[in-house]
Amino acid sequence: MADLSLMWRNTRMVVLCAISAALYAAVLVPFKALPIIPGITELRPANAIPVVCSFLFGPAAGWGSAIGNMIGDFFGGVGPGDVFGFFGNLFYGYVPYKIWRIIADGESPVSRSPATIAKYAITCLLASILCADFVGWGDNMLALRPFSVLGNLIVINNATAAFVLAPFILYEVYPRVRKGRMLYTDVMSEVTPPSRAASALGLAMLAVGTLGAWAVGNLVSTGYWIPSLIPPGMAQPPYDRAIAIAVTPFMMLAVAGVGLM
Amino acid sequence: MPIYLYIERIGVLHRLHPTVKVFALFVMFWSVYWVDHPLALLPLGLLLLAAAKNAGAWPNFYRLRWLFVMVILFTTLAWMIFYRRGPVLIDLKFIHLSRASLLFGFGRGLKLAELLATSVVFLSTTKIEEFTVGLSSLRVPYRAGFAITLAFRLAPLFMDSAITVYQAQSLRGYDFNRGGPLERIRRYVPVIIPVFMGALRKANAMAMALEARGFGRISRPTSFIEYPVAPRDVAASIGLLAIGAVYFMIYYTGYGAIPLK
Protein backbone atom coordinates (compact mmCIF):
# COMPACT_ATOMS: atom_id res chain seq x y z
CA MET A 1 0.00 0.00 0.00
CA ALA A 2 3.04 2.26 -0.37
CA ASP A 3 1.39 3.97 -3.35
CA LEU A 4 -1.29 5.33 -1.01
CA SER A 5 1.31 7.47 0.75
CA LEU A 6 3.65 8.01 -2.24
CA MET A 7 0.88 9.66 -4.26
CA TRP A 8 0.81 12.65 -1.88
CA ARG A 9 4.28 13.65 -3.15
CA ASN A 10 2.93 14.05 -6.68
CA THR A 11 1.02 17.32 -7.23
CA ARG A 12 -0.93 15.95 -10.18
CA MET A 13 -2.09 12.98 -8.09
CA VAL A 14 -3.19 15.39 -5.30
CA VAL A 15 -5.28 17.31 -7.84
CA LEU A 16 -6.71 14.07 -9.30
CA CYS A 17 -7.59 12.98 -5.76
CA ALA A 18 -9.47 16.25 -5.17
CA ILE A 19 -11.22 15.93 -8.54
CA SER A 20 -12.27 12.32 -7.82
CA ALA A 21 -13.59 13.43 -4.42
CA ALA A 22 -15.45 16.42 -5.84
CA LEU A 23 -17.01 14.35 -8.66
CA TYR A 24 -18.11 11.71 -6.15
CA ALA A 25 -19.57 14.32 -3.76
CA ALA A 26 -21.23 16.25 -6.62
CA VAL A 27 -23.25 13.17 -7.61
CA LEU A 28 -23.67 11.91 -4.03
CA VAL A 29 -25.11 15.01 -2.35
CA PRO A 30 -28.17 15.58 -4.62
CA PHE A 31 -29.22 11.95 -4.05
CA LYS A 32 -29.09 12.39 -0.26
CA ALA A 33 -32.66 13.60 -0.69
CA LEU A 34 -33.69 10.17 -2.04
CA PRO A 35 -33.03 7.74 0.82
CA ILE A 36 -33.74 4.01 0.38
CA ILE A 37 -33.99 3.60 4.16
CA PRO A 38 -33.59 7.00 5.86
CA GLY A 39 -30.68 7.16 8.27
CA ILE A 40 -29.25 3.97 6.79
CA THR A 41 -28.56 4.60 3.11
CA GLU A 42 -29.85 6.43 0.06
CA LEU A 43 -29.90 5.78 -3.68
CA ARG A 44 -26.23 6.08 -4.68
CA PRO A 45 -25.57 6.17 -8.45
CA ALA A 46 -22.49 8.15 -7.39
CA ASN A 47 -20.91 4.85 -6.36
CA ALA A 48 -19.94 4.35 -10.01
CA ILE A 49 -17.43 7.22 -9.73
CA PRO A 50 -14.87 5.56 -7.36
CA VAL A 51 -14.76 2.45 -9.57
CA VAL A 52 -14.24 4.51 -12.74
CA CYS A 53 -11.65 6.72 -11.02
CA SER A 54 -9.86 3.66 -9.61
CA PHE A 55 -9.20 2.29 -13.12
CA LEU A 56 -8.02 5.74 -14.20
CA PHE A 57 -6.19 7.27 -11.23
CA GLY A 58 -5.31 4.28 -8.98
CA PRO A 59 -4.41 5.38 -5.43
CA ALA A 60 -5.71 8.93 -5.98
CA ALA A 61 -9.16 7.42 -6.48
CA GLY A 62 -8.91 5.61 -3.13
CA TRP A 63 -8.33 8.83 -1.20
CA GLY A 64 -10.75 10.68 -3.48
CA SER A 65 -13.48 8.15 -2.74
CA ALA A 66 -12.86 8.43 1.03
CA ILE A 67 -12.89 12.26 0.96
CA GLY A 68 -15.90 12.43 -1.39
CA ASN A 69 -17.86 10.13 0.90
CA MET A 70 -16.86 12.25 3.90
CA ILE A 71 -18.21 15.37 2.15
CA GLY A 72 -21.42 13.49 1.39
CA ASP A 73 -21.69 12.31 5.01
CA PHE A 74 -21.78 15.91 6.20
CA PHE A 75 -25.15 16.21 4.45
CA GLY A 76 -26.64 13.00 5.84
CA GLY A 77 -25.26 13.35 9.36
CA VAL A 78 -21.71 12.63 10.46
CA GLY A 79 -21.01 10.28 13.34
CA PRO A 80 -18.47 7.90 14.85
CA GLY A 81 -19.49 5.27 12.26
CA ASP A 82 -18.26 7.53 9.47
CA VAL A 83 -14.67 6.66 10.37
CA PHE A 84 -15.46 3.17 9.08
CA GLY A 85 -17.26 4.75 6.10
CA PHE A 86 -14.06 6.65 5.34
CA PHE A 87 -11.94 3.49 5.28
CA GLY A 88 -14.65 1.44 3.52
CA ASN A 89 -14.75 3.99 0.71
CA LEU A 90 -10.96 4.29 0.67
CA PHE A 91 -10.78 0.58 -0.15
CA TYR A 92 -13.76 0.80 -2.55
CA GLY A 93 -11.79 3.29 -4.65
CA TYR A 94 -8.39 1.67 -4.09
CA VAL A 95 -8.99 -2.07 -4.47
CA PRO A 96 -10.44 -2.27 -8.06
CA TYR A 97 -7.25 -1.14 -9.79
CA LYS A 98 -5.16 -3.42 -7.56
CA ILE A 99 -7.29 -6.48 -8.35
CA TRP A 100 -7.41 -5.56 -12.05
CA ARG A 101 -3.62 -5.32 -12.22
CA ILE A 102 -3.37 -8.90 -10.93
CA ILE A 103 -6.20 -10.64 -12.78
CA ALA A 104 -6.15 -8.68 -16.05
CA ASP A 105 -2.44 -7.81 -16.30
CA GLY A 106 -2.48 -4.59 -18.31
CA GLU A 107 -5.65 -5.44 -20.25
CA SER A 108 -7.97 -2.50 -20.98
CA PRO A 109 -11.10 -2.59 -18.78
CA VAL A 110 -13.23 -1.38 -21.70
CA SER A 111 -12.76 -4.51 -23.81
CA ARG A 112 -16.12 -6.27 -24.33
CA SER A 113 -14.88 -9.88 -24.36
CA PRO A 114 -16.71 -12.28 -21.97
CA ALA A 115 -13.46 -12.89 -20.04
CA THR A 116 -12.96 -9.14 -19.46
CA ILE A 117 -16.58 -8.72 -18.36
CA ALA A 118 -16.18 -11.61 -15.90
CA LYS A 119 -12.94 -10.14 -14.51
CA TYR A 120 -14.61 -6.74 -14.21
CA ALA A 121 -17.55 -8.29 -12.34
CA ILE A 122 -15.24 -10.10 -9.88
CA THR A 123 -13.25 -6.89 -9.32
CA CYS A 124 -16.32 -4.74 -8.62
CA LEU A 125 -18.04 -7.37 -6.49
CA LEU A 126 -15.01 -7.83 -4.20
CA ALA A 127 -14.56 -4.06 -3.85
CA SER A 128 -18.28 -3.58 -3.11
CA ILE A 129 -18.34 -6.32 -0.47
CA LEU A 130 -15.14 -5.07 1.20
CA CYS A 131 -16.63 -1.57 1.49
CA ALA A 132 -19.87 -3.03 2.90
CA ASP A 133 -17.87 -5.16 5.37
CA PHE A 134 -16.07 -2.11 6.72
CA VAL A 135 -19.20 -0.02 7.21
CA GLY A 136 -21.38 -2.87 8.48
CA TRP A 137 -18.67 -4.13 10.86
CA GLY A 138 -17.99 -0.65 12.25
CA ASP A 139 -21.59 0.42 12.65
CA ASN A 140 -22.61 -2.87 14.28
CA MET A 141 -19.61 -2.72 16.65
CA LEU A 142 -20.80 0.75 17.67
CA ALA A 143 -24.34 -0.71 17.88
CA LEU A 144 -25.64 2.02 15.56
CA ARG A 145 -27.04 -0.13 12.74
CA PRO A 146 -27.16 -3.92 12.20
CA PHE A 147 -24.58 -5.46 9.84
CA SER A 148 -27.25 -7.49 8.04
CA VAL A 149 -29.19 -4.34 7.07
CA LEU A 150 -26.39 -1.91 6.30
CA GLY A 151 -23.86 -4.40 4.90
CA ASN A 152 -26.24 -5.93 2.38
CA LEU A 153 -27.71 -2.61 1.27
CA ILE A 154 -24.22 -1.28 0.58
CA VAL A 155 -23.30 -4.36 -1.48
CA ILE A 156 -26.44 -3.95 -3.59
CA ASN A 157 -25.97 -0.19 -3.93
CA ASN A 158 -22.27 -0.38 -4.83
CA ALA A 159 -22.58 -3.36 -7.15
CA THR A 160 -25.59 -1.86 -8.98
CA ALA A 161 -23.73 1.38 -9.68
CA ALA A 162 -20.55 -0.49 -10.62
CA PHE A 163 -22.37 -2.87 -13.02
CA VAL A 164 -25.04 -0.57 -14.47
CA LEU A 165 -23.38 2.83 -14.67
CA ALA A 166 -19.60 2.52 -14.36
CA PRO A 167 -18.94 0.45 -17.54
CA PHE A 168 -20.65 3.08 -19.73
CA ILE A 169 -18.67 5.94 -18.20
CA LEU A 170 -15.46 3.94 -18.37
CA TYR A 171 -16.11 3.02 -22.01
CA GLU A 172 -16.30 6.70 -22.96
CA VAL A 173 -13.67 8.15 -20.61
CA TYR A 174 -10.89 5.52 -20.40
CA PRO A 175 -9.59 5.80 -24.02
CA ARG A 176 -9.53 9.62 -23.79
CA VAL A 177 -7.68 9.63 -20.46
CA ARG A 178 -5.19 7.06 -21.79
CA LYS A 179 -4.62 9.17 -24.90
CA GLY A 180 -4.09 12.26 -22.72
CA ARG A 181 -1.50 10.29 -20.65
CA MET A 182 -3.43 10.92 -17.45
CA LEU A 183 -3.69 7.29 -16.27
CA TYR A 184 -2.03 6.54 -12.91
CA THR A 185 0.59 4.47 -14.73
CA ASP A 186 1.62 7.60 -16.66
CA VAL A 187 1.42 10.04 -13.75
CA MET A 188 3.09 7.77 -11.15
CA SER A 189 5.37 5.65 -13.25
CA GLU A 190 7.92 5.38 -10.41
CA VAL A 191 5.80 2.89 -8.41
CA THR A 192 6.89 -0.71 -8.90
CA PRO A 193 4.25 -3.38 -8.24
CA PRO A 194 5.04 -6.32 -5.90
CA SER A 195 5.97 -9.75 -7.27
CA ARG A 196 3.30 -11.91 -8.89
CA ALA A 197 3.44 -14.49 -6.09
CA ALA A 198 2.93 -11.87 -3.36
CA SER A 199 0.13 -10.25 -5.36
CA ALA A 200 -1.65 -13.59 -5.91
CA LEU A 201 -1.35 -14.45 -2.20
CA GLY A 202 -2.67 -10.98 -1.34
CA LEU A 203 -5.63 -11.41 -3.67
CA ALA A 204 -6.46 -14.81 -2.13
CA MET A 205 -6.28 -13.30 1.38
CA LEU A 206 -8.46 -10.39 0.28
CA ALA A 207 -11.09 -12.72 -1.21
CA VAL A 208 -11.21 -15.02 1.84
CA GLY A 209 -11.23 -12.11 4.30
CA THR A 210 -13.87 -10.12 2.41
CA LEU A 211 -16.28 -12.98 1.78
CA GLY A 212 -15.68 -14.46 5.26
CA ALA A 213 -16.40 -11.14 6.98
CA TRP A 214 -19.57 -10.68 4.94
CA ALA A 215 -20.90 -14.20 5.67
CA VAL A 216 -19.98 -14.18 9.38
CA GLY A 217 -21.24 -10.60 9.84
CA ASN A 218 -24.62 -11.54 8.40
CA LEU A 219 -24.94 -14.73 10.44
CA VAL A 220 -23.89 -13.16 13.74
CA SER A 221 -25.86 -9.91 13.44
CA THR A 222 -29.09 -11.82 12.76
CA GLY A 223 -28.35 -14.27 15.59
CA TYR A 224 -28.51 -17.33 13.27
CA TRP A 225 -25.03 -18.49 14.19
CA ILE A 226 -22.74 -17.40 17.00
CA PRO A 227 -19.22 -18.92 17.18
CA SER A 228 -18.89 -21.13 20.25
CA LEU A 229 -15.85 -19.18 21.51
CA ILE A 230 -18.06 -16.13 22.16
CA PRO A 231 -19.26 -15.99 25.80
CA PRO A 232 -23.09 -16.22 26.16
CA GLY A 233 -23.18 -12.73 27.73
CA MET A 234 -21.91 -11.25 24.47
CA ALA A 235 -24.21 -13.30 22.23
CA GLN A 236 -27.12 -10.89 22.75
CA PRO A 237 -28.62 -8.19 20.50
CA PRO A 238 -27.27 -5.81 19.25
CA TYR A 239 -24.36 -8.34 18.93
CA ASP A 240 -21.79 -5.52 18.99
CA ARG A 241 -19.12 -7.48 20.87
CA ALA A 242 -19.90 -10.73 19.05
CA ILE A 243 -19.37 -8.93 15.72
CA ALA A 244 -16.11 -7.43 17.02
CA ILE A 245 -14.76 -10.86 17.97
CA ALA A 246 -16.06 -12.86 15.00
CA VAL A 247 -15.59 -10.43 12.09
CA THR A 248 -12.37 -8.59 13.05
CA PRO A 249 -9.98 -11.46 12.10
CA PHE A 250 -11.50 -11.60 8.60
CA MET A 251 -11.19 -7.83 8.24
CA MET A 252 -7.53 -8.00 9.29
CA LEU A 253 -6.95 -10.77 6.75
CA ALA A 254 -8.55 -8.69 3.98
CA VAL A 255 -6.51 -5.57 4.83
CA ALA A 256 -3.30 -7.63 5.06
CA GLY A 257 -4.18 -9.06 1.62
CA VAL A 258 -4.55 -5.56 0.15
CA GLY A 259 -1.19 -4.71 1.74
CA LEU A 260 0.47 -7.58 -0.14
CA MET A 261 -1.13 -6.64 -3.47
CA MET B 1 -29.78 19.93 -2.01
CA PRO B 2 -27.24 22.79 -1.60
CA ILE B 3 -23.65 21.78 -0.85
CA TYR B 4 -23.01 24.77 1.41
CA LEU B 5 -25.07 25.06 4.58
CA TYR B 6 -23.00 27.94 5.98
CA ILE B 7 -25.09 30.82 7.33
CA GLU B 8 -23.46 34.26 7.45
CA ARG B 9 -23.98 35.57 10.98
CA ILE B 10 -21.95 37.03 13.85
CA GLY B 11 -22.94 34.63 16.63
CA VAL B 12 -20.91 33.12 19.48
CA LEU B 13 -20.67 29.76 17.71
CA HIS B 14 -19.58 31.37 14.45
CA ARG B 15 -16.72 33.18 16.22
CA LEU B 16 -15.31 30.11 17.98
CA HIS B 17 -11.82 28.96 16.97
CA PRO B 18 -11.98 26.29 14.20
CA THR B 19 -10.11 23.78 16.40
CA VAL B 20 -12.74 24.23 19.13
CA LYS B 21 -15.49 23.58 16.56
CA VAL B 22 -13.82 20.35 15.41
CA PHE B 23 -13.34 19.41 19.09
CA ALA B 24 -17.05 20.12 19.70
CA LEU B 25 -17.87 17.72 16.86
CA PHE B 26 -15.75 15.04 18.54
CA VAL B 27 -17.28 15.68 21.99
CA MET B 28 -20.80 15.32 20.59
CA PHE B 29 -19.86 11.96 18.99
CA TRP B 30 -18.25 10.86 22.23
CA SER B 31 -21.22 11.87 24.40
CA VAL B 32 -23.86 10.39 22.10
CA TYR B 33 -21.91 7.14 21.83
CA TRP B 34 -21.90 6.28 25.54
CA VAL B 35 -25.62 6.39 26.31
CA ASP B 36 -28.55 4.38 24.95
CA HIS B 37 -31.58 5.61 26.87
CA PRO B 38 -33.64 8.32 25.08
CA LEU B 39 -33.98 10.25 28.36
CA ALA B 40 -30.19 10.39 28.72
CA LEU B 41 -29.92 11.65 25.12
CA LEU B 42 -32.56 14.34 25.64
CA PRO B 43 -30.28 16.99 27.28
CA LEU B 44 -27.88 16.75 24.32
CA GLY B 45 -30.82 17.24 21.96
CA LEU B 46 -31.88 20.35 23.87
CA LEU B 47 -28.31 21.64 23.83
CA LEU B 48 -28.20 21.17 20.05
CA LEU B 49 -31.49 23.04 19.65
CA ALA B 50 -30.04 25.93 21.68
CA ALA B 51 -26.91 25.85 19.52
CA ALA B 52 -29.05 25.85 16.37
CA LYS B 53 -30.95 28.90 17.65
CA ASN B 54 -27.70 30.73 18.45
CA ALA B 55 -26.27 29.86 15.03
CA GLY B 56 -29.44 30.90 13.21
CA ALA B 57 -29.44 27.43 11.66
CA TRP B 58 -33.25 26.99 11.60
CA PRO B 59 -33.52 27.33 7.80
CA ASN B 60 -31.15 24.37 7.43
CA PHE B 61 -33.03 22.35 10.05
CA TYR B 62 -36.34 23.18 8.37
CA ARG B 63 -34.97 22.08 5.00
CA LEU B 64 -33.96 18.73 6.47
CA ARG B 65 -37.01 18.27 8.76
CA TRP B 66 -38.32 15.17 6.98
CA LEU B 67 -34.91 13.55 7.06
CA PHE B 68 -34.86 13.95 10.86
CA VAL B 69 -38.34 12.40 11.19
CA MET B 70 -37.53 9.51 8.85
CA VAL B 71 -34.18 8.80 10.50
CA ILE B 72 -35.84 8.38 13.90
CA LEU B 73 -38.79 6.39 12.53
CA PHE B 74 -36.87 3.92 10.37
CA THR B 75 -34.05 3.37 12.87
CA THR B 76 -36.60 2.60 15.59
CA LEU B 77 -38.32 0.12 13.28
CA ALA B 78 -35.05 -1.51 12.15
CA TRP B 79 -33.92 -2.13 15.72
CA MET B 80 -37.36 -3.45 16.73
CA ILE B 81 -36.74 -6.22 14.19
CA PHE B 82 -33.20 -7.04 15.34
CA TYR B 83 -33.17 -6.15 19.06
CA ARG B 84 -35.20 -9.13 20.27
CA ARG B 85 -34.86 -8.62 24.02
CA GLY B 86 -37.19 -8.01 26.96
CA PRO B 87 -40.76 -9.27 27.59
CA VAL B 88 -42.92 -8.94 24.45
CA LEU B 89 -45.77 -6.40 24.59
CA ILE B 90 -47.41 -7.31 21.25
CA ASP B 91 -46.35 -10.49 19.46
CA LEU B 92 -45.77 -9.72 15.77
CA LYS B 93 -43.89 -12.11 13.50
CA PHE B 94 -40.98 -9.88 12.45
CA ILE B 95 -41.18 -7.02 14.92
CA HIS B 96 -40.25 -7.75 18.52
CA LEU B 97 -42.33 -5.08 20.23
CA SER B 98 -41.06 -4.92 23.80
CA ARG B 99 -40.39 -1.98 26.10
CA ALA B 100 -36.65 -2.66 25.74
CA SER B 101 -36.69 -2.85 21.91
CA LEU B 102 -38.84 0.28 21.69
CA LEU B 103 -36.51 2.24 23.99
CA PHE B 104 -33.37 0.89 22.31
CA GLY B 105 -34.67 1.59 18.78
CA PHE B 106 -35.94 5.06 19.65
CA GLY B 107 -32.64 5.78 21.43
CA ARG B 108 -30.68 4.76 18.30
CA GLY B 109 -32.95 6.92 16.13
CA LEU B 110 -32.47 9.86 18.48
CA LYS B 111 -28.70 9.24 18.46
CA LEU B 112 -28.54 9.38 14.65
CA ALA B 113 -30.80 12.46 14.58
CA GLU B 114 -28.51 14.18 17.11
CA LEU B 115 -25.46 13.29 15.00
CA LEU B 116 -27.22 14.78 11.96
CA ALA B 117 -28.11 17.89 13.99
CA THR B 118 -24.47 18.19 15.11
CA SER B 119 -23.27 18.16 11.50
CA VAL B 120 -25.93 20.71 10.48
CA VAL B 121 -24.90 23.09 13.29
CA PHE B 122 -21.21 22.55 12.43
CA LEU B 123 -21.72 23.27 8.72
CA SER B 124 -23.99 26.25 9.48
CA THR B 125 -21.23 27.89 11.52
CA THR B 126 -18.00 26.78 9.82
CA LYS B 127 -16.49 28.01 6.57
CA ILE B 128 -14.38 25.65 4.45
CA GLU B 129 -11.16 27.51 5.25
CA GLU B 130 -11.97 27.20 8.99
CA PHE B 131 -12.50 23.47 8.53
CA THR B 132 -9.06 23.23 6.91
CA VAL B 133 -7.48 25.10 9.84
CA GLY B 134 -9.27 22.70 12.21
CA LEU B 135 -7.91 19.70 10.30
CA SER B 136 -4.38 21.10 10.20
CA SER B 137 -4.46 21.68 13.98
CA LEU B 138 -5.34 17.98 14.28
CA ARG B 139 -2.06 17.26 12.42
CA VAL B 140 -3.76 16.21 9.16
CA PRO B 141 -0.95 16.63 6.55
CA TYR B 142 -1.15 19.87 4.57
CA ARG B 143 -1.51 18.16 1.18
CA ALA B 144 -4.42 16.00 2.44
CA GLY B 145 -6.08 19.08 3.99
CA PHE B 146 -5.60 20.90 0.70
CA ALA B 147 -7.20 18.04 -1.26
CA ILE B 148 -10.21 18.09 1.10
CA THR B 149 -10.61 21.87 0.76
CA LEU B 150 -10.23 21.72 -3.01
CA ALA B 151 -12.82 18.93 -3.23
CA PHE B 152 -15.28 21.00 -1.14
CA ARG B 153 -14.70 23.93 -3.50
CA LEU B 154 -14.93 21.92 -6.74
CA ALA B 155 -18.03 19.87 -5.88
CA PRO B 156 -20.52 22.77 -6.35
CA LEU B 157 -18.81 23.72 -9.64
CA PHE B 158 -19.25 20.17 -10.93
CA MET B 159 -22.87 20.15 -9.76
CA ASP B 160 -23.47 23.39 -11.68
CA SER B 161 -21.90 22.00 -14.85
CA ALA B 162 -23.99 18.82 -14.47
CA ILE B 163 -27.15 20.95 -14.29
CA THR B 164 -26.07 22.89 -17.40
CA VAL B 165 -25.40 19.67 -19.34
CA TYR B 166 -28.71 18.20 -18.11
CA GLN B 167 -30.60 21.27 -19.35
CA ALA B 168 -28.73 21.28 -22.67
CA GLN B 169 -29.53 17.58 -23.25
CA SER B 170 -33.19 18.14 -22.27
CA LEU B 171 -33.42 21.03 -24.76
CA ARG B 172 -32.21 18.67 -27.48
CA GLY B 173 -35.10 16.35 -26.60
CA TYR B 174 -33.20 13.76 -24.55
CA ASP B 175 -35.68 12.12 -22.15
CA PHE B 176 -34.12 11.34 -18.75
CA ASN B 177 -37.32 9.76 -17.41
CA ARG B 178 -37.75 6.97 -19.95
CA GLY B 179 -37.61 3.31 -18.93
CA GLY B 180 -37.34 1.50 -15.60
CA PRO B 181 -35.16 2.52 -12.62
CA LEU B 182 -31.93 0.99 -14.00
CA GLU B 183 -32.51 2.43 -17.47
CA ARG B 184 -33.17 5.85 -15.89
CA ILE B 185 -29.86 5.69 -14.00
CA ARG B 186 -28.11 4.71 -17.24
CA ARG B 187 -29.63 7.66 -19.08
CA TYR B 188 -27.53 9.98 -16.90
CA VAL B 189 -24.32 8.75 -18.54
CA PRO B 190 -24.41 11.57 -21.20
CA VAL B 191 -24.48 14.05 -18.29
CA ILE B 192 -21.64 12.50 -16.31
CA ILE B 193 -19.18 12.14 -19.22
CA PRO B 194 -18.92 15.85 -20.19
CA VAL B 195 -18.62 16.81 -16.50
CA PHE B 196 -15.91 14.18 -16.04
CA MET B 197 -13.92 15.26 -19.09
CA GLY B 198 -14.30 18.95 -18.19
CA ALA B 199 -12.92 18.18 -14.73
CA LEU B 200 -9.94 16.31 -16.18
CA ARG B 201 -9.15 19.17 -18.52
CA LYS B 202 -8.82 21.38 -15.41
CA ALA B 203 -6.56 18.89 -13.60
CA ASN B 204 -3.42 19.44 -15.66
CA ALA B 205 -3.65 23.24 -15.60
CA MET B 206 -4.42 23.18 -11.88
CA ALA B 207 -1.39 21.00 -11.09
CA MET B 208 0.91 23.30 -13.09
CA ALA B 209 -0.54 26.43 -11.45
CA LEU B 210 -0.03 24.89 -8.01
CA GLU B 211 3.57 23.94 -8.69
CA ALA B 212 4.28 27.38 -10.16
CA ARG B 213 3.17 28.80 -6.79
CA GLY B 214 5.51 26.47 -4.91
CA PHE B 215 2.86 24.00 -3.71
CA GLY B 216 4.32 21.44 -1.34
CA ARG B 217 7.72 23.12 -0.95
CA ILE B 218 7.10 23.48 2.81
CA SER B 219 5.02 21.06 4.87
CA ARG B 220 3.27 23.70 7.02
CA PRO B 221 2.71 26.82 4.90
CA THR B 222 1.64 30.10 6.47
CA SER B 223 -1.81 31.60 5.85
CA PHE B 224 -3.26 35.07 5.30
CA ILE B 225 -6.09 34.26 7.70
CA GLU B 226 -5.18 33.99 11.38
CA TYR B 227 -7.40 32.60 14.11
CA PRO B 228 -6.28 33.85 17.55
CA VAL B 229 -7.46 31.91 20.61
CA ALA B 230 -9.94 34.03 22.62
CA PRO B 231 -11.22 33.55 26.22
CA ARG B 232 -14.53 32.26 24.77
CA ASP B 233 -12.59 29.42 23.12
CA VAL B 234 -11.08 28.39 26.45
CA ALA B 235 -14.51 28.58 28.14
CA ALA B 236 -16.11 26.55 25.33
CA SER B 237 -13.37 23.90 25.55
CA ILE B 238 -13.86 23.56 29.33
CA GLY B 239 -17.64 23.30 28.82
CA LEU B 240 -17.16 20.63 26.14
CA LEU B 241 -14.79 18.65 28.35
CA ALA B 242 -17.39 18.79 31.13
CA ILE B 243 -20.12 17.51 28.78
CA GLY B 244 -17.90 14.65 27.63
CA ALA B 245 -17.02 13.76 31.24
CA VAL B 246 -20.66 13.90 32.41
CA TYR B 247 -21.78 11.60 29.60
CA PHE B 248 -19.02 9.13 30.34
CA MET B 249 -20.09 9.15 34.01
CA ILE B 250 -23.73 8.55 32.97
CA TYR B 251 -22.52 5.49 31.06
CA TYR B 252 -20.18 4.37 33.87
CA THR B 253 -22.87 4.54 36.53
CA GLY B 254 -25.29 2.65 34.27
CA TYR B 255 -27.91 5.42 34.09
CA GLY B 256 -27.69 5.66 30.31
CA ALA B 257 -28.46 1.97 29.72
CA ILE B 258 -31.76 0.42 28.62
CA PRO B 259 -33.48 -1.59 31.40
CA LEU B 260 -34.32 -5.09 30.14
CA LYS B 261 -37.25 -5.73 32.51
* B82·A222 Cβ contact <8 A: yes
Residue B245: inside a domain, yes or no?
yes
Q: Does A4 touch chain B (CB under 8 A)?
A: no
Complex ipTM more than 0.90, yes or no: no
pLDDT of residue A126: 96
pLDDT of residue B77: 87
Do B51 and B97 fall within a single domain?
A: yes
Do B149 and B101 fall within a single domain?
A: no
Do B50 and B148 fall within a single domain?
A: no
Q: Which domains does chain A have, with CATH numbers?
A: 2-193 (1.10.1760.20)
Number of domains in chain B: 2
Contact yes or no for A135/A177 (Cβ under 8 A): no
Q: Which residues of A92-111 are buried (b: 16+ CB within 10 A; e: fewer)?
A: bbbbbbbbbbbbbeeeebbe
Residue B196: inside a domain, yes or no?
yes
Do B92 and B184 fall within a single domain?
A: no
pLDDT of residue A69: 92
pLDDT of residue A37: 65
Do B148 and B51 fall within a single domain?
A: no
pLDDT band at A38 (very low <50, low <70, confident <90, very high): low
pLDDT of residue A123: 95
d(CA B180, CA B219): 51
Do B94 and B190 fall within a single domain?
A: no
d(CA A109, CA A169): 11
Contacts of A5 (CB under 8 A, 6+ apart): none
Q: Does A77 touch chain B (CB under 8 A)?
A: yes
Residue B180: inside a domain, yes or no?
yes
Residue B100: inside a domain, yes or no?
yes
Q: Is the pLDDT of residue A92 over 90?
A: yes
| Residue B127 structural domain | 12-133+231-252
* A77·B123 Cβ contact <8 A: no
User: What residue in B sits closest to A168 (Cα-Cα)?
Assistant: B189
Q: Does B189 touch chain A (CB under 8 A)?
A: yes
Q: Which residue among A39, A67, A173 places its CB closest to the CB of B197?
A: A173
CB < 8 Å from A in window 71-90 of B: 71-75, 78-79, 82-85
* A165·B210 Cβ contact <8 A: no
Do B16 and B100 fall within a single domain?
A: yes
- In chain B, which residues have pLDDT < 50? none
User: What residue in A sits closest to B65 (Cα-Cα)?
Assistant: A33
Do B84 and B56 fall within a single domain?
A: yes
Average pLDDT, chain A: 89
pLDDT of residue B228: 87
Closest CA to A116 of A94, A93, A100, A92: A100
pLDDT of residue A33: 62
Residue B6: inside a domain, yes or no?
no
Residue B1: inside a domain, yes or no?
no
pLDDT of residue B2: 58
Q: Is the pLDDT of residue A213 over 70?
A: yes
| Higher per-residue confidence, A254 vs B204 | A254
Do B114 and B240 fall within a single domain?
A: yes
pLDDT band at A76 (very low <50, low <70, confident <90, very high): low
**pLDDT by residue (tens digit) across A175-196?**
999 998 889 989 887 778 889 9
Q: Which residues of A22-49 are buried (b: 16+ CB within 10 A; e: fewer)?
A: bbbbbbbbbbbeebebbbbbbbbbbbbb
User: What residue in B sits closest to A32 (Cα-Cα)?
Assistant: B1
Do B55 and B177 fall within a single domain?
A: no
Task: Kindly list the distances between the CA atom of residue B151 and the CA atoms of A15, A61, B87, B146, B181, in Å, as whole numbers in the listed order.
Answer: 9, 13, 50, 8, 29
User: What residue in A sits closest to B128 (Cα-Cα)?
Assistant: A71
B25 to chain A, closest Cα gap in Å: 9
Residue B222: inside a domain, yes or no?
no
Residue B221: inside a domain, yes or no?
no
pLDDT band at A159 (very low <50, low <70, confident <90, very high): very high
Do B128 and B148 fall within a single domain?
A: no
What whole-number percentage of chain B has pLDDT above 90?
Answer: 28
- Kindly report which listed range (A27-41, A216-230, B98-112) carries the lowest average pLDDT score: A27-41
pLDDT band at A39 (very low <50, low <70, confident <90, very high): low
Do B174 and B91 fall within a single domain?
A: no
